[in-house]
Amino acid sequence: MDEKRLKIAEDNFRRYLRDNLIRKSAFQDIIYKTYINNSFESLKVAEELFKNKTSSLWVVVSSYYSMFYIANAYAYKKGYKASHEIVHQIINEALIVLARHDLEKHFLEEYEEEKLKALSASQNLLDAYESEKLKRSEFQYETTGEIKESKANTSLTRAKKFVEVMREILSRK
């Protein structure tokens, strides 16, 4: 992620805090577990939909939501809870600001001898989240034609990796 994009995310995050669109929040286990459970359920639904070739649209949507809920769990574990207004954009920016260093650390540990690969993997995971956020919005609200199965498969693959890595990071906190 380039420095310009990081600066935008940091500025937006500070503005969201100032405007109470995201705020510090006392931890409640039930809220955290709900995010985690919603993430797993969304991923499971995406897998079933893909396996049964039910709906490429809902594979993309469910895959994105598995990522969205685990990202919410991460932000919540860090002490932040987003309001319902523009929540998808808030979580996207919060994830960049709050998770970037944890993701880099995770991949550096995983690929000790390949540090550049680790930094790239961290960046790719953040890019995948942002890409799926945009794709979900386009497909859910702007696409009228049939969505290609390959795009649904890409969404599902990205979601599985994103949820796996975020769960590993959360399990260490």
| Average pLDDT over the chain, rounded to an integer | 89
For the domain that residue 100 is a member of, what is the CATH number?
A: 1.20.120.330
Cα 109 to the chain's mean position, in Å? 21
Phi-psi region of 79 (alpha: psi -120 to 50; beta: other; left: phi over 0): left
Query: Taking a C-beta distance cutoff of 8 angstroms, is the pair 65, 41 a contact?
Result: no
Average pLDDT over residues 160-167: 93
Q: What is the pLDDT of residue 136?
A: 76
Q: How far is 153 from 166, CA to CA, in rounded Å?
A: 20
Q: How far is 43 from 59, CA to CA, in rounded Å?
A: 9
Q: How far is 60 from 137, CA to CA, in rounded Å?
A: 10
Q: What is the pLDDT of residue 13?
A: 98
Global pTM value: 0.80
Q: How far is 24 from 20, CA to CA, in rounded Å?
A: 9
Q: Which of the two residues, 125 and 167, has the higher pLDDT score?
A: 167
Q: What digits encode the pLDDT tens for the residues 84-106?
A: 999 999 999 999 999 999 998 88
- Look at residues 57, 63, 58 and name the one whose alpha carbon lies nearest to residue 42: 63
Q: pLDDT-derived band of residue 144, with 50, 70 and 90 as boundaries?
A: very low
- Look at residues 111, 156, 114, 110 and name the one whose alpha carbon lies nearest to residue 132: 156
Residue 142 has pLDDT above 60, yes or no: no
Average pLDDT over residues 13-18: 98
Residue 141 has pLDDT above 80, yes or no: no
Residue 128 has pLDDT above 50, yes or no: yes
Q: What digits encode the pLDDT tens for the residues 46-76?
A: 999 999 999 999 999 999 999 999 999 999 9
In which domain, by residue range, is 149 found? 3-172
Number of domains in the chain: 1
